[in-house]
Amino acid sequence: MMHKISEGLERAFALRGFAEPSVEDLRDAAGVSLRTLYKYTPSRADMVLAAMENRHQRYLSRLFDALPQDHDKALDAVLSRVGNWMETETSHGCLFHAAVAADPGSKPLRALLESHKAEVASKAAAATDLQHADTALLLIIEGLTQTWPLRGDAAIEAAKRLGQALRSQGV
């Protein structure tokens, strides 16, 4: 049940932002009664956290599941997948940053943002055999996320060139 609720909440927040959807809108998106929604997510803050935890898992799966074994190809695949995520899931930037911007005082949201980005960096470094370049890889991925709405496929190709330059430096 929680998975169904989290998926619906994620869709609602991704489509309409964090301030606009009413509790009734969120209930409808989750496909449950108001009582059930509040049973699993007793507050709006809990609803946002549930949505973002669901998004975290989906994002990691989309980027890192079944990558090529070749590290160069894995790097290109991860960056292509970021572009695909932007095209199909969100065309306006990172929902994690948007969640924190909507509630800047939320320590749980800030912690989730930090752990999400750390896990993305760690998985990218492991998949590409660039373990000592996790921050640089995160910078490339984050730059792609922010630039894709403006430049689309050109941003993906630029990110790939930066990734290959990073690899060629032997970092």
Q: What is the pLDDT of residues 29-54, one digit of tens each?
A: 999 999 999 999 999 999 999 999 99
Question: Which three-class secondary structure string do you get for the chain?
Answer: CHHHHHHHHHHHHHHHCCCCCCHHHHHHHHCCCHHHHHHHCCCHHHHHHHHHHHHHHHHHHHHHCCCCCCHHHHHHHHHHHHHHHHHHCCCCCCHHHHHHHHCCCCHHHHHHHHHHHHHHHHHHHHHHCCHHHHHHHHHHHHHHHHHHHHHCHHHHHHHHHHHHHHHHCCC
- What residue spans define the domains of the chain? 2-168
pTM strictly above 0.85: yes
Query: pLDDT at residue 18 above 70?
Result: yes
CATH number, span 2-168: 1.10.357.10
Question: What average pLDDT does the structure give for the chain?
Answer: 95
A 10 A CB-CB count for 96 gives 21
Quick: pLDDT tens for 114-128: 999 999 999 999 999
Q: Is pLDDT of 171 > 80?
A: no
Mean pLDDT on 108-112: 97
| pLDDT higher than threshold 80 for residue 165 | yes
Distance CA 28, CA 38 (A): 13
Summarised one tens digit per residue, pLDDT across range 81-106 is 999 999 999 767 889 999 999 999 99
Answer yes or no: are the C-beta atoms of 95 and 18 closer than 8 Å. Answer: no
Count CB atoms within 10 A of the CB of residue 3: 10
The C-alpha atoms of residue 155 and residue 81 are separated, in whole angstroms, by 12
143-155 residue pLDDT tens: 999 999 999 999 9
pLDDT of residue 170: 65
